[in-house]
Structure 1
Amino acid sequence: MISITEKEFAQLSNYIKENYGINLREEKKMLVIGRLHNVLAEHNIEDFSQYYQYVVSDKSGKAVSTLLNKITTNHTYFMREKTHFDYLKEKVLPYLINSVRDKDLRIWSAGCSSGEEAYTIAMILSEFFKQEKLWWDKKILATDISEKVLSIAKNGIYHKEQIAPLPEMWKKIYLKKYDEENFVFSENIKNEIIYRKFNLMEDVFPFKKKFHVIFCRNVMIYFDNRTKNELIRKFYNSMEYGGYLFIGHSESLSGDTAGFKYIMPSVYRKE
C-alpha cells in the first residue's frame, strides 16, 4: 500500500479544507490512505504528490468528485434524530402555514447524503398539508457535494431493513416493492424533491429566494470553528426571518453566532 508523507498529507488536506471545508486531522491519515489506495493503483499513480497534481489539473471534475466520494462518510438513516421531525410537524409547519406568503414554502436539506432526510421531510409535508398540498409550492431542495450519494437519493431505492424505522402507514402510501429485498419511493414523493450537487463553501449562495427551514445535520462536525461560523452566517443570510435551522444533536452554535435564537438542543430560529 502506498504511504503518504507529512508534506503530502498537508498538501491534500489543505486543498480539501480550502475548497470543501472538510477538516482532515492528522488521525485521518490511515483513512485517507485506505480509501484512496485503489484510486492511485487504478490510474498508475506512484505517490500522493502525483495524485494531488492529478486532482488539481483534471478539468473534467471527475478526479475531485471521486476524491470527495472516497473521503466523506455519508452515514445516515431514516428517522435519524426523530425529535427534529416531530418538532417540524408539531411546531414549525403550523406556524409556517399561517405566515408564509403566496403559499411558497422553501425547505433546504443541506448535506442531504443518500436522501433519507429529504424523503422524510417530503412525507411529513404530504401528511401535514393533505388536500391543501395542491395549492402550495413546497418543493424541497436537497444538496450534497458527493455525486455518489446524490445518485442513490435520486433513485429512491432502499433495502427493506433501511426503511424499517418508517411508520407502517408511510410504507404503504409512499413506497412500493422494487424487488425481493428493496423498495422504491413513489413518483409523487420523488417529484417533491430537487436534488443538486452543491458545495457549502461557495462564497455566496446563489438562491434567489430565502428559505423558511434549513436542515444541515451532522455536516459541521467535519469543519473547524472558522468554517462553521462562516457557514452559519451564510445560512442566516439565506433564511427568512422567523425561519428555523436544524443541526445535528452533536453540534451546537456558539453564543456569538449573531441572529439565531436557541429554541431547543440543535434547533435555532432567525430573529
Structure 2
Amino acid sequence: MFGRDRVELKTPEQVLLMRRAGLVVADALAAARAAAVPGATTADLDAVAARVIADAGAQPSFLGYHDYPATICVSVNDEVVHGIPSARVLRPGDVVSIDCGAIVEGWHGDSALTVVLPEADPADVQLSAVTERAMWDGIAALASGAGLADRLGVVGEAVEQAVEAAAADGGPQLGIVQDYVGHGIGSAMHQPPDVLNYRTRERGIRLKPGMCLAIEPMITRGDPATDVLDDDWTVVTGDGSRAAHWEHSVALHEGGIWVLTAVDGGAAELAARGVAVAPLA
C-alpha cells in the first residue's frame, strides 16, 4: 500500500478477493442485461442486480456512495453515466448503459456494458460496438509480449486509435468523453491513477504488478461535451446525442493481465488481439 495520492499495489491474495467481487458484478450485470427489455423500468433492473449481489453475500459499491441512492447506474440514450434507476420505462430502440459495482471482504469490482433494445438503430448498435472494441483494445494495450506494457498512457492511445479506425472504415465520427475517465480500483471503488481514454503527450505512470485498473471508455454519436442534470448525478451529452459506456476491472500481476470482471478473465477477446491472459495463482 502507498499513502495518499499514490497507487495502491495489491497482494495476490487481495487480487483474488477482487476476482470474487468481479464475478459477482459479472453475474449482476448479466441479470440486469437480461431484464433490460421494452416495458421494464430502470428500477426493475436495479432490483434484479441488488438481488444477485445480496444472494452472493456481497455488498453494492454504489449504494450510499456520496449518498447515491441505488445499487446500479442505468443511463439511457443521451445519458452518458450515473443515471439513477427510477420509474422510467424502457422503450424500443433505447440505448441502455448499465454500470455495477460490488464489494467482497472490503475489495471492489466495477464493470459496465451497453445494450441497444430492439428495434435498434444500426448507428446505435455501431456506437456500442465501437465503444466495447475500444475498451478491449485499451485492455490489450496493458500487456506486452513478455508481461506488462511500460506506461499507462498506452490505454488512451489504444482507445482513441480504435475510434479513429472505425471512422476510417466508413463509420461515423464519434466523440470520446473526456470529462469522465477510468480509475484505479481496490480497497476503494475509485483510486489513483486516472485512466484516460484519449492520447496525450504524457506517457502516464509506469505500470507495475499489483495495480488494478478500471478501463471504461464513454463514447458519443456527437459532441463529447457533457452536462450534469439537477439530480447532481446524471451525466448527459450537451448536444442530446446518444452515448455508450463499457468497462472492465483489470488486474496487473507478475505474469501479465487478468480481467477481473470477465467470466473468462478476458481470454477470448484478448486472444483475438494477440494477448494471452495470465490467470491468477
TM-score by length of 1: 0.26
Greater helix share, structure number: 1
Indicate the structure (1 or 2) with the bigger Cα radius of gyration: 1
Greater strand share, structure number: 2
TM-score by length of 2: 0.26
